[in-house]
A and B are shown apart, each in its own frame.
Chain A
Amino acid sequence: MINTPPISAHVEFDRVGLRYGRGAEILSDVSFSLAPGSFNVITGPSGAGKTSLLKLLYLHMRPSRGLITLFGNDVSQLAGPAIPSLKRRMGVVLQDFSLIEHLSVFDNVALPLRVMGKTPQSYQDDVTTLLKWVGLGTRIHALPPTLSGGEKQRAAIARAIIGKPDILIADEPTGNIDRAMGARLFRLFTELNRLGTTIIIATHDTALIPEGAQIFNLSAGMLTMELSS
């Protein structure tokens, strides 16, 4: 059973460590807290553990040690079947976009609403409006294999936010697109954040980080924090 008490932080990591198998720790004693409506960026060189940290966040794997609290719930105490309801409160954009190839852009974006049991008629206007907002108004019926990298990225972002999640998690969202498109995406994230969504982005591209964002530097599995100016 998931509790929804009044919470001061959406996410709390307390001395979290992660290792794959018997290897060395990828993350060591990672502790941080993310307030609702905050804009957070995790930076660091390739292989620093950014993607692993995000995987812990969106419940793709369990930590080797430490405590993760999500929306006030100690996730180590959650039974497997309770996980999907937490996942529905998070929108995730992965590096490979994870679009279903035989479904149109529209159907891919509508997927979170569909699995919640909503009827097509109830979400049709919302999906169309959102697709126009992310600049895919003319690509509604297109199939993912016909989209460019930037279009796939925006479709994945639209799918991540269509269910109005409390948290948006994006892993290297600018990795496959040009700088202009990257800047446009960050403006999109800033706009979402202004509407109340907590943003967590892993990127090595620090030039695009907006003012006032919390920056977490991850290096050799250790995390340090600063505020962008």
Chain B
Amino acid sequence: MNAPQKDRYQPKPLLPKDKAGDRPLFMVMAILAFLATLTLLAVKTSYQMSARWGTDLENTMTVQIKPDVNMDTEQSVEIAHSILQKFSSVERIEKIPEANSRALLEPWLGTADLPADLPLPILLDITLKPGEAIDKQKLGAAFTQAGLRADIDDHGRWRKELRRSTRTARTLALLALFLVVVAVISAVIFAVRAGVVRQKRVIDVLHQVGADMNYTARLFSLRFALSGLKAGAVGAFGALLVLWVLTMVSSIGSSGLLLPLLGVTLSDLYFALAIPVLIALLSGISARRTIRATLLKKLYP
């Protein structure tokens, strides 16, 4: 048998590749990365969702013009329209069709045909310019002065409710993220320690032949960091894939009015990329610390 070819010879890695015993560690880290990515994206989505709801409510108001025997509907709308246009913060005015107004009464009056001449209030949906407000009292006074009996609803009551609900949702989401991160850190440290212990033979032999502590620590930290990066990438991109499939399924027949449609965006990708990097760092540092602790005990006990 010949000696290894001088120009091509590369020694085998000191830590065996793809050992069957590494698979459980890989699986644990991949599953943790999967859960962490889903939690992170859920937190991000909850923030986006509450922000969107808040913006929707803060930028809109509803004006309800009550029927008046002295003024026909079209005339009332025209007057209200002209008053509203004088306010610079108003961006858009939309009259809610009568059919929609009638539909709003269905929960109380049933689906039976209502008399055509039943006087119904006129609803105007007002959109304000982003970040701007309207003086509710001034608007009310202008309507009264024009002879309109109008109620102005700036959704203040709902806004308070919503703020309270979203604050609770965000706190819960952050708590979930914190717990998942703690679980990821603990499980990765535990799994890496177990992985290092399985390579005891290599550690002992390296120690016996006089390898410096940093040499062994670097060997293991690189190996486990790389393994963590791979497992983290598999878990994170698995989570993105699942999210994308859910997007496809949930988008069928969904209006996206109440809940935003799920979706995988470029920013989600960046968030997902952070997970494998975090797991790689954790694995590398954990392996390094475990090796150093093991060798310090072993160096000269």
Contact = CB atoms under 8 A, between A and B. Distances in A.
A115 B1 contact: no
B14 A100 contact: yes
B300 A112 contact: no
B211 A84 contact: yes
B4 interface: yes
Q: Considering residues A98, A100, A121, which has the most beta carbons from chain B within 10 angstroms of its beta carbon?
A: A100
Contacts of A111: 205-206, 209
Contacts of A83: 299-300
Interface string B198-214: 00011011111111110
A118 to B, nearest CB: 11
Contacts of B16: 102
Contacts, number: 97
B205 to A, nearest CB: 5
B209 A120 contact: no
Nearest to A86: B210
Contacts of A100: 14, 201-202, 205
A85 B1 contact: no
A88 B3 contact: no
B212 A115 contact: yes
Contact of A120 (B10, B205, B299, B300): B10
Interface string A85-120: 111101010100011111110110011101110001
Interface of A: 58-62, 75, 78, 80-81, 83-88, 90, 92, 94, 98-104, 106-107, 110-112, 114-116, 120-121, 124-125, 128, 137-141, 159, 163
Given A102-B12, A103-B12, A125-B6, 15 more contacts: A83-B300, A84-B211, A88-B209, A92-B208, A94-B208, A110-B11, A111-B209, A112-B210, A120-B4, A121-B7, A121-B9, A124-B4, A140-B1, A159-B209, A163-B209
